[in-house]
């Protein structure tokens, strides 16, 4: 049943594929993952069309299994179809039991089915963030446990999951800012570019709500941060604070230089 649905969705995705779009995306991602060349609007249309034409009769567990199987496929558009199924159908319906699903999703990272920044960030922004917003603090804190993961992309997800929530700071829930800074304190320890940029991205968004706390965090960890990560982190601070921290980073004797 699931294999048949995956095949049907793949055929429909391929029908909307454009070779020029495929070439652009594969060039942009530098061959890290394969593409069909199907645009996002068409991917969304395929997912909702499939659901209307028969998916409404599926049990929630079957739909969750289908989403995971789509993300396990080789090509990006198939993965995005699974992500959209979770984001636009299952989360709004309250059909994600996160205590059991988060470990299943963790295995998608650890087993290499989410292994590039594009898929990772789509999953963060479209699945993990909306789920945390819908389910609240306990779910959010379970996601942040991923900061200890050995897998780079799951570790990145522990912070990037909150980029759309971070501008609200503790308006999300008391202790949200401290929680995010604890994630960043762990992820900034890793010199890999995507660990650094994930840290910088969430700090930049958090600085909209907590500029002072973000500035203090960056200043205390300049020796751990790449130039790219510092630039991202301070981008929304006032001119004086931003320039001060950038200059201080340049003077830090053990400051890491991000790969360009």
pLDDT tens for residues 78-125? 999 999 999 999 999 999 999 999 999 999 999 999 999 999 999 999
**So where are the chain's domains?**
1-95, 114-260
Class of the domain covering 114-260: mainly alpha
Cα 143 to Cα 221: distance, rounded to the nearest angstrom: 23
The 10s digit of each residue's pLDDT in 191-250 is 999 999 999 999 999 999 999 999 999 999 999 999 999 999 999 999 999 999 999 998
Secondary structure (3-state) at 255: coil
Q: How many CA atoms lie within 13 A of 6 on its CB side?
A: 19
> Do 1-95 and 114-260 fold alike per CATH?
yes
pLDDT at 253: 64
Give me the CATH topology for the region 1-95: 1.25.10
- pLDDT of residue 127 exceeding 90: yes
Secondary structure (3-state) at 256: coil
The 10s digit of each residue's pLDDT in 18-48 is 999 999 999 998 888 999 999 999 999 999 9
Burial class (CB in 10 A: 0-12, 13-18, 19+), 59: exposed
């Amino acid at each position: 049943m699931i294999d048949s649905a995956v095949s049907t969705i793949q055929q429909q995705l391929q029908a909307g594929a454009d070779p020029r779009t495929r070439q652009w995306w594969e060039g942009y991602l530098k061959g890290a993952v394969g593409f069909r060349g199907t645009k996002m609007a068409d991917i969304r249309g395929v997912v909702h069309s499939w659901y209307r034409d028969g998916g409404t009769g599926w049990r929630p567990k079957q739909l969750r299994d289908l989403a995971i199987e789509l993300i396990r496929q080789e090509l990006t558009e198939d993965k995005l179809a699974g992500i959209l199924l979770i984001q636009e159908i299952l989360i709004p319906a309250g059909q994600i039991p996160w205590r059991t699903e988060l470990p299943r999703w963790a295995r998608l990272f650890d087993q290499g089915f989410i292994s590039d920044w594009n898929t990772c960030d789509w999953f963060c922004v479209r699945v993990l963030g909306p789920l945390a917003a819908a389910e609240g603090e306990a779910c959010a804190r379970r996601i942040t446990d991923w900061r200890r993961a050995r897998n780079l992309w799951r570790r990145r997800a522990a912070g990037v999951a909150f980029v759309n929530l971070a501008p609200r700071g503790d308006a999300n829930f008391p202790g949200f800012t401290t929680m995010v800074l604890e994630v960043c304190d762990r992820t900034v320890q890793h010199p890999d570019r995507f660990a650094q940029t994930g840290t910088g991205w969430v700090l930049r968004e958090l600085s909209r709500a907590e500029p002072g706390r973000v500035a203090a965090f960056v200043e205390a960890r300049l020796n751990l941060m790449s130039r790219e990560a510092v630039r991202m982190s301070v981008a929304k601070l006032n001119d004086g604070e931003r320039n001060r921290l950038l200059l201080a980073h340049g003077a830090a004797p053990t400051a890491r230089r991000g790969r360009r």
